[in-house]
Structure formats: C-alpha cells, structure tokens
C-alpha cells in the first residue's frame, strides 16, 4: 500500500473548505540548487520553529503554512493537541476565537476555521511529531513552481477532502516565554540588509534613496519574490552574467523597483543586486501585508551572523 493511501486510512484532520494557500512546509530543500531546484520551506522560519517547539517536535518537522486564511477550515476525527503561531488570521475553534502562539486541544468533530488577516500574513499550524507527507529530494516542502513536495507530491495547496495525519501521539505542553515569541511587523519596520558585490554600480543618489526613503510592499508578492515600490534606483549595470541567488537577494531590474527574492525563487538571476536581506529580515518581510512601509537598513555580515546565532539559541 502506498504512503499516501496509508495516510488516508488513518484518522486525522480533514479539510472542509480550502483557503487561498495552505501548504505543507518544513525547513526547506538544500543541496539541490545545482539541479535548478529551489529552497522552498517555511517563509517565516521563526514562527514555524516556534510552532514545532510548542509541541516538543524536532524543529524541522513538517507543519502547515497558512496564507491569508480565507475561510480555510478543518474538522478533526480524534483528539489531538496542535500549536498555532505567526499571523493572527482570526482563527476560531467551534466559533470561539483562538489566539496565535499557543498550543490547544481539539476534540473529535470540532472545527477549526481561519478567516482574514488581522495582523501578519502567514500562520503556522504544527502537529504532534510533524505532518505525514512524502519526502522529495530530502524535504516535504511544497514548491508550486516546480510541482514537488506536499501531500500529493505535486506542490499544490490543500484542497477539500484532503486528510492530514501526523507522526506523534504525546506532544509536550509548553508556553512561549514572554517577549521571545514571533513578532508581527508594523508599518515602518526596518529590514537589515548585507550589501552585495554590485553595490558600487549604483550611484550616490540611488544609494541615498535606497537606504533613506521608505518602501512599500507591493501587491505583487508571493513565495518567489516581493516587489518594493518607491524611488526608482538606477546604476551603471542593467544586467549581469547570471549567478546564484541567495535567500533575500534584493535585485534591481531596469524599472528601478527592487524585488526581494524569497524561498521559492529561481536559483540564478542576471539583475544587479543591492545585497541580501538577513534571515531575520526575510522572516519579517514574509509577514508584511501589501501596503506595509519598510526601510532597508545596511548591516555588516558579522552582525547578521550574530543576530542569527542569537535567534537560534532561544530554542536550545
């Protein structure tokens, strides 16, 4: 019997109404960029890890990334404790409001519903031991562009009738320490950026505009990239020989409006770059609704590394 068929015979949680975008994600798919396969994985990796931490899971366990909410609803078939972190998508359990950043119990027949964003964009729902899903190239992460990963190995979001099952049975009972949980961005938030090798191709005026003017998150934003709108940035390069693209790379195409490349980005690109957002900044940007005002703030590579290490220690 196939792995998917086996999961469908287990009791779990059934999708009753599909929202705009609910994807199975883990930490991502690494070591395959030379094949043209992108990273994928949870966009807000901080909220994702907190969700798993609340249940005592391995921090890389597969969970559900829920974007916008949009009426997504589930009905559970047996008692289970889940964890919800990240954005406030106006979640309700049997009609009662459910705040994020907590674990909670569901009883058979209860219904969990996600409505519309109240604060943030992406919520993470973790399950005991992690979600069951086939592993593809070392990861269960959905990447729609490449049609790999997820419940049916096609990279597609959950649909009505899908059944989610999980690996564990006895989750931990934990609470996030005060002041340490995932924070949702507010308008005017700063996004640290490590400057890149093409920074010298931008003239002084462009650099002043880049780092001393606010940018707005455009509605042209998805898991591949987030366009920022503001002053047009121009430099001496209109294109470069295509090179590898890291997470958070800030490309500047000919129209001068930066694009921040995210988890489902292409693996190479040929536009000049200001640099790359830090991992912390990428998590923040992934929670920004269209219209949110942000500022690009240069930091050193050593500072970015120190901030990253400090964040990792909170789960030790």
Tokens of 106: 């569901």
83 pLDDT above the threshold of 90 = yes
Mean pLDDT of 177-197: 92
> What does the pLDDT read at residue 2?
46
Number of domains in the chain: 2
Mean pLDDT of 172-194: 92
Does 117 reside within a domain? yes
Mean pLDDT of 204-213: 96
> What does the pLDDT read at residue 9?
60
**pTM of the predicted protein model:** 0.94
> What does the pLDDT read at residue 140?
96
- 119-126: strand order across its sheet: 21-25, 63-67, 119-126, 80-88, 102-106
Confidence of residue 10 (pLDDT cuts 50, 70, 90): confident
Tokens of 220: 């042209």
φ, ψ for residue 64 (rounded to 5)? -110, 125
Does 184 reside within a domain? no
Whether residue 47 is found in the same domain as residue 155:
yes
> What does the pLDDT read at residue 190?
97
| H or E element at residue 248 | none
284 pLDDT above the threshold of 70 = yes
Mean pLDDT of 99-118: 96
Whether residue 237 is found in the same domain as residue 159:
no
| H or E element at residue 160 | none
Confidence of residue 305 (pLDDT cuts 50, 70, 90): very high
Q: Rounded mean pLDDT of the chain?
A: 93
Does 36 reside within a domain? yes
Q: What is the pLDDT of residues 52-65, one digit of tens each?
A: 999 999 999 999 99
DSSP string, 137-148: TTB---BTTTTB
Whether residue 120 is found in the same domain as residue 35:
yes
Q: Is 177 helix (H, G, I), strand (E, B) or coil?
A: coil
Confidence of residue 186 (pLDDT cuts 50, 70, 90): confident
Whether residue 11 is found in the same domain as residue 133:
yes
Does 227 reside within a domain? yes
Mean pLDDT of 225-252: 92
Non-local CB neighbours of 142 within 8 Å, separated by 6+ positions: 23, 24, 25, 40, 148, 149, 150, 155, 156, 157
Q: Is 113 helix (H, G, I), strand (E, B) or coil?
A: strand
6 pLDDT above the threshold of 50 = no
Whether residue 300 is found in the same domain as residue 230:
yes
Q: Is 8 helix (H, G, I), strand (E, B) or coil?
A: helix
Question: In the chain, pLDDT over 70 holds for what percent of residues?
Answer: 97
Whether residue 225 is found in the same domain as residue 94:
no
Whether residue 193 is found in the same domain as residue 160:
no
1 pLDDT above the threshold of 50 = no
Which residue, among 39, 40, 33, 43, has the nearest Cα to 243 in the 3D structure?
33
Domain hosting 220: range is 189-313
């Amino acid at each position: 019997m196939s792995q998917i068929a086996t999961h469908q015979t287990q009791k779990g949680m059934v999708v009753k109404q599909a929202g705009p975008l609910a994807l199975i994600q883990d930490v991502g798919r690494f070591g395959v960029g030379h094949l043209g396969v992108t990273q994928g994985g949870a966009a807000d990796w901080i909220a994702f890890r907190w969700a798993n931490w609340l249940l005592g899971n391995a921090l890389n366990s597969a969970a559900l990334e829920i974007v916008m909410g949009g009426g997504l609803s589930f009905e559970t078939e047996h008692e289970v404790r889940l964890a919800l972190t990240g954005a406030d998508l106006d979640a309700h359990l049997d009609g009662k409001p459910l705040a994020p950043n907590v674990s909670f119990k569901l009883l058979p027949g209860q219904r969990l519903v996600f409505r519309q964003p109240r604060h943030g964009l992406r919520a993470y729902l973790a399950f005991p031991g992690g979600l069951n899903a086939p592993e593809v190239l070392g990861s269960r992460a959905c990447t729609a562009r490449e049609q790999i990963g997820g419940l049916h190995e096609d990279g597609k979001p959950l649909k009505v009738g899908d059944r989610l099952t999980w690996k564990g049975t006895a989750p931990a009972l934990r609470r996030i320490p005060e002041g340490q949980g995932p924070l949702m961005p507010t308008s005017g938030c700063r996004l640290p950026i490590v400057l890149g090798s093409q920074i010298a191709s931008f003239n002084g005026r462009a650099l002043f505009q880049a780092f001393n003017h606010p940018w707005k998150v455009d509605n042209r934003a998805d898991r591949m990239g987030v366009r920022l709108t503001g002053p047009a940035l121009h430099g001496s390069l209109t294109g470069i020989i295509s090179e590898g693209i890291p997470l958070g790379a800030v490309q500047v195409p000919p129209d001068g409006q930066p694009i921040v490349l995210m988890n489902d980005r292409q693996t190479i690109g040929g536009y000049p770059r200001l640099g790359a957002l830090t991992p912390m900044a990428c998590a923040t940007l992934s929670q920004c609704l269209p219209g949110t005002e942000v500022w690009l703030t240069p930091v050193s590579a050593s500072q970015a590394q120190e901030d990253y290490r400090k964040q990792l220690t909170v789960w030790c």
